[in-house]
Amino acid sequence: MNEWVNALVFGAALVAFVLGLSSIIMGFMVGANSENPMAERIEYGYFGVSGLVVALLMVYVLA
């Protein structure tokens, strides 16, 4: 049963890492023609850092 829990935690860590990294990349791709580009960059950056922190916590749980 422990292997299933480890597999699910690894999957959650992988999803959190990919979503965090893609959010940070999307933050750099915000165009200047949007309504409030700085707010969008801050929002994407926040979600990106949050995703990376969750991924690191999941990796810590696996160790």
Q: Which helix (H) or strand (E) holds 6?
A: helix 2-28
User: Is 90 exceeded by the pLDDT of residue 54?
Assistant: yes
Q: Are 59 and 12 in contact (CB under 8 A)?
A: no
For 38, the token pair is 């700085």
- Predicted confidence at residue 33, as pLDDT, reads 83
User: Is 90 exceeded by the pLDDT of residue 2?
Assistant: no
Q: What is the pLDDT of residues 13-51, one digit of tens each?
A: 999 999 999 999 999 998 878 888 899 999 999 999 999
Note the pTM of the prediction, 2 decimals.
0.85
- Predicted confidence at residue 31, as pLDDT, reads 81
